[in-house]
Chains A and B, each alone.
Chain A
Amino acid sequence: MMIAMLNEAWTAMWANRLRTILTMLGMVIGVSAVIIMQAVGLGAQQQVQESIESMGSNLFIVLSGAPTSGGGVRMGSGATPTLTANDAEAIAELSTVAGAAPSVSDAAQVIYGARNWSTQVMGTTPSYFTVRNWTLDEGTPFSDSDVRSATRVALLGKTVVDNLFGDENPVGKTIRIKNSPYIVLGVLSAKGQSLNGRDQDDTVLVPITTAQRKLLGSQFAGTVRMIMVQAASAEAMPAAEKSINELLRQRHRIREGAESDFNVRNLTAMANTAAETTAVMSLMLGIIASISLLVGGIGIMNIMLVSVTERTREIGIRMAIGARDRDILLQFLLEAIIISIIGCLIGVILGIGGALAAQAMADINVVITLGSILLAFTVATAVGIFFGWYPARQAAKLRPIDALRFQ
């Protein structure tokens, strides 16, 4: 019975090849759009997630300068260094804070042998590794004693290693930064791009004291550019932000009501905002793609209605020789479902192909999951049944005599 029905559906579809293919095309476009959009959306979300993880969790940065704009001429945050390494130590002792790492940084030329590379040199303390959740691929990190005695040691990011050393092992080698020699202690593990697209591996870390005294000669000696603070937990973040503010206002002797000369930013909240933005974006993409799937479904309904009208006499003949309502219903429903499933299969293949092509050509990160394919499949079949039902029902409800007399 079922085989006979499938056969008939196939015969009918084959008799109207062009129309069948055009109808299918609606499904194909809808499904491939869903797959591509989901792949791109998930890819973006994954990228943001990776960036957030590479940044470290529950982070604040404390920058010099006031948080908001008042009247008169203002300087951007960080323009006047007001923070010190001692501020960082004091923050680290707060109960809501897991660690605090002060840092200074500047661009510098780094030389090894005949090669040189312009990169960002950052002075910091060993807390930085825990706060940023940063490990070493090779070698050892510098220690607190290195910071105390301002030794000339350096840790290199992956990009710097690639450009200066190639395949050579950099650990123990001597590089030159601003004409002073530094011994390479280790290589930092790769972190990839940050949320704002900067290459986080294009960096050289040195002890903060070394940077302050020997490298970045500042007119404000002993100051730091920013302090990176990790809260004890996600729940402790609001409390941590409050106590950092209170502590620093007290240390900087800022009177009640006066503006702060520093500014605490919640990096994790910003990252979460970015994650939410991408989630909303991928939802939007999904909705747009679903609309094309819906349009494809309406196309199926349209063609099935035409098909029912065209084949009214055939329906009459079938009824006259004993087809029941449900036989007729099934016959037309089956056609709609076959069209959607075949369209969906082609759509899945094209969608995966399109997503991979986008990845290869436009360098867009895409993620194709079995889930999204199954979803597309389920939705396509549901669309077939939903939009095939009405025309099939119309056919099945015909009175035999009316169907037979139809011209």
Chain B
Amino acid sequence: MEAAPTDGQQGNSSPVIRIQHLYKEYISAAGVMPVLHDLSAQIMHGEFVAIMGASGSGKSTLMNILGCLDSATSGTYLLNGRDVNTMDRDTLAHLRNDLIGFVFQGFNLLPRASLVDNVALPLVYSKVARDERVARAEEMLHKVGLTKYRDSRPSQISGGQQQRVAIARALINRPKLLLADEPTGNLDSHTGHEIMDLFSELNKRDGITIALITHEAEVAAYAHRLVRLADGRVVYDGVPEAHLPTQAQQKI
């Protein structure tokens, strides 16, 4: 792994994610729409970062770029020290399969497949044999407490349970990095807290680096670091507000 300058953040000293001067523009009928504007940041190994921002602040776009689902218009993105812009589609697919676990707001499970098949799906693409796929998927379902639903379809279980299945799927290939785009957005607050407890545990116990988007301060409070975006720029980077001694907003 490439040595990177340390900024005195908590956790491991090398960055998993390092973005520099990232720009993203969408071209639509209304003209060029800038979404990310000269964004630079890094996330270290073992960090737990919450990203907040109003609608249209570019946080989802950022997350999709970090997850190698989308590409930036310009700027560099080093994932684990390697430049993502120079990678071909197969390498990116391999990274999504192996290094990154992605959790969506809408769960994005395959409706026709059983839970165990849903969880095992990434292993199909990393050429793991069927017996091992099933064994590992069952183990992950056990971890998220859904063993007894292994043969159910996603539509037969609750939203919170579906999100647990999605997390199990994201984790099955033992990724170093877990990205989540409003993972609690479709859930009630109780279920949301359960999911966030699960994230905290994964970060603390397994040392998985987590970056998640949320618009709830309560959710962001689980993280150790908060990044706030507005109009495609970082406007705050520090401890989550809830951890501050006063309610006063810290300005940069």
Residues of B contacting A400 in the complex (Cβ-Cβ under 8 angstroms): 68-70, 96
Tell whether, in the assembled complex, residue B93 and residue A323 are in contact, meaning their CB atoms are under 8 Å apart: yes
Tell whether, in the assembled complex, residue A318 and residue B121 are in contact, meaning their CB atoms are under 8 Å apart: yes
| Complex: A319 Cα to B69 Cα, angstroms | 8
| Complex: A15 Cα to B112 Cα, angstroms | 8
CB-CB contacts below 8 Å: B28-78 with A = 64, 67-70
Given A320-B96, A322-B126, 5 more contacts at CB 8 Å? A11-B113, A317-B110, A321-B125, A323-B93, A400-B68
A362 in the interface (beta carbon within 8 A): no
Residues of B contacting A325 in the complex (Cβ-Cβ under 8 angstroms): 89-90, 93
Select the residue from B67, B112, B130 with max chain A CB neighbours within 10 A: B112
Binary A-proximity of B101-113 (CB < 8 A = 1, otherwise 0): 0101000111011
Tell whether, in the assembled complex, residue A321 and residue B97 are in contact, meaning their CB atoms are under 8 Å apart: yes
Residues of B contacting A321 in the complex (Cβ-Cβ under 8 angstroms): 96-97, 102, 121-122, 125, 169-170
A1 in the interface (beta carbon within 8 A): yes
Question: Nearest 4 pairs between A and B by C-beta?
Answer: A322-B97, A401-B70, A324-B93, A322-B125
Tell whether, in the assembled complex, residue B108 and residue A404 are in contact, meaning their CB atoms are under 8 Å apart: yes
CB proximity of B25 to chain A, nearest CB, Å: 14
- B interface residues, how many (CB within 8 angstroms): 29
Which chain B residue lies CB-closest to A397? B89
B94 in the interface (beta carbon within 8 A): yes
B138 in the interface (beta carbon within 8 A): no
Residues of B contacting A401 in the complex (Cβ-Cβ under 8 angstroms): 64, 69-70
Binary B-proximity of A303-320 (CB < 8 A = 1, otherwise 0): 000000000011011111
Residues of A contacting B96 in the complex (Cβ-Cβ under 8 angstroms): 319-322, 400
CB proximity of B120 to chain A, nearest CB, Å: 9
| Complex: A317 Cα to B109 Cα, angstroms | 8
Q: Which of B93, B104, B108, B124 contacts A4 (CB 8 A)?
A: B124
A-B contact pairs, 10 of them (CB 8 A): A15-B112, A317-B109, A319-B69, A320-B96, A320-B104, A321-B96, A321-B97, A322-B97, A322-B122, A325-B89
A199 in the interface (beta carbon within 8 A): no
Residues of B contacting A322 in the complex (Cβ-Cβ under 8 angstroms): 93-94, 96-98, 122, 125-126, 173
Tell whether, in the assembled complex, residue B112 and residue A12 are in contact, meaning their CB atoms are under 8 Å apart: yes
Residues of A contacting B205 in the complex (Cβ-Cβ under 8 angstroms): none
Q: Which of A12, A313, A319, A404 contacts B93 (CB 8 A)?
A: A319
Residues of B contacting A114 in the complex (Cβ-Cβ under 8 angstroms): none
CB-CB contacts below 8 Å: A284-343 with B = 313-314, 316-325, 327
Tell whether, in the assembled complex, residue B102 and residue A11 are in contact, meaning their CB atoms are under 8 Å apart: no
Residues of A contacting B90 in the complex (Cβ-Cβ under 8 angstroms): 324-325
Residues of A contacting B148 in the complex (Cβ-Cβ under 8 angstroms): none
B190 in the interface (beta carbon within 8 A): no
Residues of A contacting B70 in the complex (Cβ-Cβ under 8 angstroms): 399-401
Tell whether, in the assembled complex, residue A3 and residue B110 are in contact, meaning their CB atoms are under 8 Å apart: no
| Complex: A325 Cα to B94 Cα, angstroms | 11
Size category of the A interface is: 20 to 34
Q: Which of B64, B98, B110, B130 contacts A314 (CB 8 A)?
A: B110
Residues of A contacting B251 in the complex (Cβ-Cβ under 8 angstroms): none
Residues of A contacting B67 in the complex (Cβ-Cβ under 8 angstroms): 320
Which chain B residue lies CB-closest to A326? B90
| Complex: A12 Cα to B113 Cα, angstroms | 10
CB-CB contacts below 8 Å: B140-185 with A = 169-170, 173
Residues of B contacting A319 in the complex (Cβ-Cβ under 8 angstroms): 69, 93, 96
CB proximity of B203 to chain A, nearest CB, Å: 21
Tell whether, in the assembled complex, residue B93 and residue A1 are in contact, meaning their CB atoms are under 8 Å apart: no
| Complex: A15 Cα to B111 Cα, angstroms | 11
Tell whether, in the assembled complex, residue A323 and residue B125 are in contact, meaning their CB atoms are under 8 Å apart: yes
CB proximity of B52 to chain A, nearest CB, Å: 21
Residues of B contacting A313 in the complex (Cβ-Cβ under 8 angstroms): 108
| Complex: A317 Cα to B107 Cα, angstroms | 10
CB proximity of A2 to chain B, nearest CB, Å: 11
Residues of B contacting A4 in the complex (Cβ-Cβ under 8 angstroms): 124, 130
Tell whether, in the assembled complex, residue B89 and residue A324 are in contact, meaning their CB atoms are under 8 Å apart: yes
Residues of A contacting B113 in the complex (Cβ-Cβ under 8 angstroms): 11
| Complex: A404 Cα to B96 Cα, angstroms | 14
Residues of B contacting A15 in the complex (Cβ-Cβ under 8 angstroms): 112
CB proximity of B114 to chain A, nearest CB, Å: 10
| Complex: A4 Cα to B124 Cα, angstroms | 7
CB proximity of B163 to chain A, nearest CB, Å: 14
| Complex: A318 Cα to B121 Cα, angstroms | 8
| Complex: A15 Cα to B93 Cα, angstroms | 27
CB-CB contacts below 8 Å: A4-51 with B = 4, 11-12, 15
CB-CB contacts below 8 Å: B76-103 with A = 89-90, 93-94, 96-98, 102
Residues of A contacting B64 in the complex (Cβ-Cβ under 8 angstroms): 401
CB-CB contacts below 8 Å: A34-88 with B = none
Residues of B contacting A3 in the complex (Cβ-Cβ under 8 angstroms): 130
| Complex: A345 Cα to B173 Cα, angstroms | 40
CB proximity of A399 to chain B, nearest CB, Å: 7
Tell whether, in the assembled complex, residue A327 and residue B108 are in contact, meaning their CB atoms are under 8 Å apart: no
Select the residue from A1, A3, A316, A327 with max chain B CB neighbours within 10 A: A1
| Complex: A140 Cα to B108 Cα, angstroms | 90
Residues of B contacting A324 in the complex (Cβ-Cβ under 8 angstroms): 89-90, 93-94, 125
Residues of B contacting A404 in the complex (Cβ-Cβ under 8 angstroms): 69, 104, 108
Q: Which of A1, A317, A323, A399 contacts B127 (CB 8 A)?
A: A1
Which chain A residue lies CB-closest to B128? A1
Binary B-proximity of A375-407 (CB < 8 A = 1, otherwise 0): 000000000000000000000000111001000
| Complex: A318 Cα to B94 Cα, angstroms | 12
Select the residue from B122, B125, B127, B170 with max chain A CB neighbours within 10 A: B125
Which chain B residue lies CB-closest to A400? B69
Residues of B contacting A1 in the complex (Cβ-Cβ under 8 angstroms): 124, 127
Tell whether, in the assembled complex, residue A327 and residue B69 are in contact, meaning their CB atoms are under 8 Å apart: no
CB proximity of A142 to chain B, nearest CB, Å: 82
Which chain A residue lies CB-closest to B111? A314
